[in-house]
Structure 1
Amino acid sequence: MESRLSLSVPGRRLAAMTRTTATPPPATGSAAPLSRTSAETDSASPAPRRLLDWRLRFALLSLIWGFSFLLIKVGTHGFAPLQVTLGRLVFGTAVLAVALVVRGERLPRDPRLWGHLAVAAFLLNALPFSLFAFAELTIPSTLAGICNATSPLWGMALSVVALSEDRPTRRRVAGLGIGFLGVLTVLGAWQGFSGLDPAGTAMALLGSLSYPVGWIYLRRTVAGGGHSPIALVGGQLFLGALQLAVVTPLFTSLPGRIEVLPLLAVLALGALGTGLAVMLQYGLVTEVGPTTAQMVTYFIPVIATAAGVGLLGEPLSWNTPVGALIVLAGAFLTQSRPRRR
């Protein structure tokens, strides 16, 4: 669902793309990059007064993205994984289309930009959303949420190779090592990964890897273009939905019976977890800056685990929460910076 976006996929003017590193947004809903630097965003004039305090919107965004993995699991009970992803992108696109009309904004017209957005839609939306949906056929939603939290680790490793301005520091390298130690803890490596479906787990990890690949691509091709972030994300989600609309009928058929609960789950996953979440995060970034807004990443696996265990009755062994905490600690270190004098 959907990654600060992207997402995302994983959608929005992302803080991740404006920093000197490829700091990934939450993978439940990924999106287009910010066109301003984080320093400019953090020092921008105060945002207009909003109906809800930013802390409430931060909590709401955490809940929406944390519950996305439960919604994916419920959706796959009535629909094929590709159908879940297609519905997610269609409903998410519809929400952003309404937002564009209300805001009086237009989609970009540059054909070259649309080509870049098509690649981004595949890497940040169509591919990772589908991989997580397929993964949750055989693994718990709690494990999928924790695998999603590895995106900052992949992002740090890839940015060192792909972005020349990124330089590894001792702190970031230590964070990378600690993070992947946490992954091994979650998977129970000392007992031979027993009880886990290797294919499903691999798909979830590949989904989390797809986000930083997409973010780095966007950073190198689209970031800093001065385009409306909502328009960029709207176009990106539309192209992702179009890609799935072509592929899905080739590999799936409509279910004989449409069940209400899975349908509502897909609707919520798209409208809330992909569409509304984009708007919430964009508002947070512009109001409190990307540094604070991106902290939502560290709440997602906690909420996903609580939702899976509490509402779906998924089993939980000690190594899952312990490993998740280690993963989050490593991810935090990879994104932290020494204080400037």
Structure 2
Amino acid sequence: MTSTDSVPGLAASKKAQLAVAVGFVLTGIIWGASFLFMKVALGGLSPAQVAWSRLVLGALALGLFVLVRRETLPRQLSVWGHMTVLAVSFCVVPFLLFSWAQQHVTSGLASIYNATTPIMTAIMAGLLFRVERLKPVQLAGILLGILGVVVIIGPWQGLDFSQGLVAQFAILGATACYGFSLAYMRRFVSATGMSALMFSFLNIGIAAAIMVALTPVLVLTPVALDPWIVGSIVLLGCLGTGVAYIWNQNTVRAWGPTRASTVTYITPLVGVFLGVLVLGEHVTWNEPVGALVVFLGILLAQDRLRGRARPKTDEGADASASTPPVVTR
């Protein structure tokens, strides 16, 4: 190959890398803003209606991409069974928990708690599904992450088991669902060969179908709509629960799941900033301090502070584990 032949290939490679990097940043911004979108949408919709709307809109957005690219649905019944489990554990339950909890906590605090997902994933992967053996440093990271959560809760201020504290535990329940789902993906859905788009579409689409089936039970309550509420739910559904999932999947395939999981560091920064700027929310000192402790725990739990080179992840490897550590979610 001559030097002139290699230039177009090099340019195309750099362009692809830039596209992945831009998608990574946009994913972090959109998922960080999702907590603001949920808070605004709750001004006129019930928590179940918010979860229902974001899943249905997300499924429609992803479905359009599937039609344009003419991708075919998997035929194995086992794949559909596993994806149904993930639809419930990764979408339906945590989305309902987040929507309910954000009636009682700030959007910024919800985004901070969302950053505990990698800690939950390490617990589920190492202790429940045993898909990886936890090293002492990783166990220390999990304990440090738990300490960070305690700092965020601030028990020295007095524990008032009102809706606020219950809501914080509900969010932790949602991130535990994310951790369960990510470990489940690695254990049961790691060799399906589905594309990033198809995996996202099935995950969101099945969850949307479940919510539609539950419409008479959960969703048929009065609504109060205005342009801000409508705009928030459309952005939350089409972008946060739709397009951003594809960007995240592509990032994992290009960078590997560990590097892609650093989107966790972007979302709380965006969530807290927008909560303060747009909604006038207040941040107490223990919330960012606790978040920093959680981030340090994440680094230890992922064994990323040892300063050694890691093997390069093959593009397209472990596609099913490429779901985001936070759908925002």
Same topology, TM > 0.5: yes
Counterpart position of 1:133: 99
Counterpart position of 1:181: 147
Q: Provide the rounded CA distance (Å) in 2 between the counterparts of 1:301 and 1:57.
A: 17
Counterpart position of 1:305: 272
Match of 1:75 among 37, 41, 48: 41
Counterpart position of 2:191: 224
Counterpart position of 2:324: none
Give the C-alpha shift of residue 170 in structure 1.
2.4
CA contact (8 A) 2:45 2:223 kept: no
Change (3 A) 1:281 1:181: same
Counterpart position of 1:20: none
Structure 2: unaligned runs, 5 residues or longer = 1-11, 311-329
CA contact (8 A) 1:47 1:287 kept: no
Counterpart position of 1:109: 75
Write the mapping of 1:5-154 to structure 2, written as runs, cut at 5 A. 49-50=15-16, 53-154=19-120
The Cα offsets for residues 182-215 of structure 1, whole Å up to 9 and x where unpaired, read as 1111111112245971221111110010011122
Give the C-alpha shift of residue 288 in structure 1.
3.4
Write the mapping of 1:150-165 to structure 2, written as runs, cut at 5 A. 150-165=116-131
Structure 1: unaligned runs, 5 residues or longer = 1-45
Give the C-alpha shift of residue 150 in structure 1.
1.0
Change (3 A) 1:283 1:160: closer
Give the C-alpha shift of residue 165 in structure 1.
4.6
Number of residue pairs matched by the alignment: 296
The letter of the residue matching 2:58 is G
Q: Provide the rounded CA distance (Å) in 1 between the counterparts of 2:288 and 2:42.
A: 25
Give the C-alpha shift of residue 233 in structure 1.
2.0
Q: Provide the rounded CA distance (Å) in 2 between the counterparts of 1:336 and 1:78.
A: 44
2:174 paired with 1:207:
yes
The Cα offsets for residues 212-263 of structure 1, whole Å up to 9 and x where unpaired, read as 1122222222211222232122122111011111223213424254322112
The letter of the residue matching 1:79 is L
CA contact (8 A) 1:144 1:204 kept: yes
Give the C-alpha shift of residue 316 in structure 1.
1.1
CA contact (8 A) 2:20 2:247 kept: no
Which of structures 1 and 2 has the bigger CA Rg? 2
The structure in which a higher percent of residues are helix is 2
CA contact (8 A) 1:88 1:266 kept: yes
Change (3 A) 1:165 1:53: closer
Report which stretch shifted further, 123-132 or 166-175: 166-175
TM-score, normalised to structure 1's length? 0.81
CA contact (8 A) 2:117 2:179 kept: yes
Q: Provide the rounded CA distance (Å) in 1 between the counterparts of 2:13 and 2:189.
A: 25
Paired residue secondary structure (2:231): helix
The letter of the residue matching 2:215 is T
The letter of the residue matching 2:269 is V
CA contact (8 A) 1:125 1:240 kept: yes
Counterpart position of 2:207: 240
Report which stretch shifted further, 171-180 or 69-78: 171-180
Paired residue secondary structure (2:29): helix
Give the C-alpha shift of residue 81 in structure 1.
0.7
Q: Provide the rounded CA distance (Å) in 2 between the counterparts of 1:206 and 1:257.
A: 29
Give the C-alpha shift of residue 50 in structure 1.
4.1
Counting aligned pairs with the same residue, the percent is 34
Change (3 A) 1:172 1:277: same
Give the C-alpha shift of residue 67 in structure 1.
0.7
Change (3 A) 1:165 1:275: closer
The letter of the residue matching 2:291 is A
Match of 1:279 among 246, 249, 253: 246
Paired residue secondary structure (1:197): helix
The letter of the residue matching 1:86 is W
Give the C-alpha shift of residue 146 in structure 1.
1.3
Aligned-residue RMSD, C-alpha: 2.1
